[in-house]
A and B are shown apart, each in its own frame.
Chain A
């Protein structure tokens, strides 16, 4: 399906072409080429080894776990894994780059072509788009400069220096901010399922360089700009909107788009030039002579493949085959923690469809109210399963279940104990139900008249009154049956 997202200009409609380079920090206790730790938020320059500080004579040694995580990520997007890859040096001077070069992979990346399928509308399979991934390579992060510590000098914090990043380069396959947003969210979900990146955009574990160009539909690609280091899905979408509009206006005013690097200012919601093509660095890439080519054997690749969990798309399809709605399946698989919780719930032999509806409606609602994540949910999947079973076997009604769940959230007690303690068991005692119905019908003789005259929607009123009188504990099916009998 072709995107119909268009920028309307003076000269007609413009199509937007988007490619993303996502930098994802690899989950690892140690940096890519040194043994130093990688904890976020540590005091400046406390996570720095001699190698990270590029002391004279220090040498990089690849961290196998970082390579493994990148390979697993490649496998998760069905990408070609290159059994032979190599590290290159990207040379430039900056105070946050101790070696004077970044070790990266230009010529022979670890992971080749793959793809990510996204749904633009969670309820609609036909909204699926496949976004190509050009490559994933592994590289070192730089440190950071702190400009606010001294009136005339900048300080350097090398904690991040040498941390392993995966650079995931998409093809220019996206045509709207929505597609780019969906791609980024899906990629994040996959990384988190795989466990190769925590996807925490606020802490900078994941950030995107956004390549945008515009063209008249059917024309060749236009000149692109690259907006660096955008750190949220919302900002990525804003950059695309803003940048596409800027380019269209520029072209229509007779100007040309310059191939350049830009920065996004989220406070003003604008992008501005960081450096033009003329100022572009000549990075003088060449193979890093300190490192041998990376050669992966079959046993290593097998282990990587076997260690992969069930991924979001496969899980979603499995859920749908269980009778769970497409929307629920999509929502339940969007985050690895949610899917994990739901899988644990399913393992307690509950009805999948009932369970999915309950999680999406009741559980999510409760978590929202409490302002906690599913990982912090006070009710365990096993306790939730007990609650669902009490509904399924008729012990309590759906509405009583809501009350019970509230009490579970407060007390942490199991559902059965609460039902027992509070006397919330549903009753199917027709004598008691009949007695209440008779009383209600007698007290509402006028409405009974109206009902019999054809105002059938009043039936719900009688049901409600009866249930209320029974404190919600009457079996709704029996209430329905008895009411129909008495009103006929």
Chain B
């Protein structure tokens, strides 16, 4: 049986159903792997008992013949999701020890579908970061190493860095991530796994700690496109508790999977060929184009003229919303409270937030406060909202000429820890390809394309039209079948 934790989610589901192994064996395999991989710092909280309880329920369900879609499958849950009675800290000191009395809609749906929980996954603080280095729990170490003989610790990307590392290292067959401006796709690309951010509104945001409400969207990360489709089906759906939730039926994405792209047009946006991006990135993009052609698609050049404004627009809108969303962490009702001797309410606020928030979160709160303040609102926030509309229009126009868009996921492979922490702008550039789809609320996915010269994974990025997750998944599957990406990080932990 061996190494159950290295199987894909689909293999586990099917093998469990076929009676090849029990759910308890699956859960135990992952629980053991997690303990053995603590040096990766992927999990902030391990919940082996919860995984076993769900596994035993799955084994009983199999015996009685009432299996649920995810019976037998244990998952890792990003710490941004509220999980009832289990620490939900968003990677922040200000929420350290916070155990919500409620369960997020998305994690609740997964559990209702039979999934167990292995633990909570490390992440950049409040999902603000692209390297998982802003976490109050310390960085996640990528299981991947460069093949240069050095032993540099690499980032798994972020903000869903714990999620990506867990899947990549066999510490979960699938996980939840959230993506505000690339936080599912960039770490998926850095760790050689797949991850999809659905159309804004597909996943309820209820119970997911808000970073930037108009951009935040949950999604699955897993080894394969099919694994992602299975999870996505069990995460999405209308939620009356989220006013921005889409009131639409959930498509059967797994059943709809097909890598035959005949009749599909794939757009290649010229604006994504940017200076300073390594040749290897463009080379894997070109290979991706050939694979999609091979799958029957027609490739057409397109233009998304406002692409270069996407990153600055994102870094106005997201911090603006964050500065307001994070105002509730004030020490009054829950989380950290610092009360300086003799201090008043304002002193409590200052001390609590000074101690509770890390540098990157403070930076974004300050940026957001600035762009919303009187006298700057029109020049920054309002202007950014208008540019966002133009970016949406770019995509709308493009999707008159094509069904899908293919780009690289990130402008580089995984970088070393501490390489970019002192240069926020260089860090922000990580998401240059991911952010436009976030601003437009479109479904987008990263799938592994291959390895670079240093032996590190590179991702290919598919952007679909509104609600066309199926198109994105199908193109992802076509690439997956042709890329033959089977590389895994060699176990060193």
Contacts and interface: CB of A to CB of B under 8 A. Distances in A.
A56 B82 contact: yes
A150 B241 CA distance: 37
Contacts of A156: 332-333
Given A55-B100, A62-B243, A286-B381, A91 B324 contact: yes
A284 B372 contact: yes
Interface in A269-311: 282, 284-286, 289-292
B209 interface: yes
Contacts of A56: 82, 88, 90, 95, 98, 100, 209-210, 328, 334
A95 B100 contact: no
Given A290-B243, A291-B243, A57 B206 contact: yes
Output the residue of B104, B330, B345 with the most chain A CB within 10 A: B330
A415 to B, nearest CB: 56
B243 A286 contact: no
B328 A284 contact: no
Interface string A54-73: 11111111100000000000
Contact of B328 (A99, A286, A289, A291): A99
Nearest to B95: A56
Contacts of A285: 372, 377
B243 A61 contact: yes
A58 B206 contact: yes
A292 B243 contact: yes
B328 A100 contact: yes
Given A56-B98, A284-B369, A289 B205 contact: no
A282 B373 CA distance: 6
A50 B333 CA distance: 11
B104 A57 contact: yes
Interface string B98-140: 1011101000000000000000000000000000000000000
Contacts of A58: 206-207
Contacts of A292: 243-244
Interface string A472-485: 00000000000000
Contacts, number: 99
Contacts of B88: 56
A14 interface: no
Contact of A61 (B102, B214, B242): B242
A264 interface: no
A94 B208 CA distance: 24
Contacts of B346: 93
A101 B329 CA distance: 12
Nearest to B345: A95
Contacts of A94: 345
Contact of A54 (B95, B205, B328, B377): B328
A154 B332 CA distance: 11
B82 A57 contact: yes
Interface residues on B, range: 35 or more
A28 B373 CA distance: 34
Output the residue of A53, A59, A93, A94 with the most chain B CB within 10 A: A59
A181 interface: no
Contacts of A289: 212-214, 244, 321
A101 B324 contact: yes
A286 to B, nearest CB: 5
Interface in B368-391: 369, 372-374, 377, 381
A60 B323 CA distance: 18
B470 to A, nearest CB: 25
A60 B205 CA distance: 11
A99 B207 CA distance: 15
A98 B213 contact: no
Contacts of A316: none
B260 to A, nearest CB: 37
Contacts of A99: 327-328
Nearest to A95: B332
Interface in A34-65: 50, 53-62
Interface of A: 50, 53-62, 89, 91, 93-95, 98-101, 154, 156, 282, 284-286, 289-292
30 contacts: A50-B102, A53-B333, A55-B334, A56-B98, A56-B100, A56-B328, A56-B334, A57-B82, A57-B100, A57-B207, A57-B208, A57-B209, A58-B207, A59-B205, A59-B206, A60-B243, A89-B324, A91-B324, A91-B327, A93-B330, A95-B330, A95-B332, A98-B328, A99-B328, A100-B324, A100-B330, A282-B373, A284-B372, A285-B377, A286-B377
* A-B complex: 9 closest residue pairs judged by Cβ atoms: A100-B327, A284-B372, A289-B213, A289-B214, A54-B328, A57-B207, A56-B209, A57-B82, A57-B209
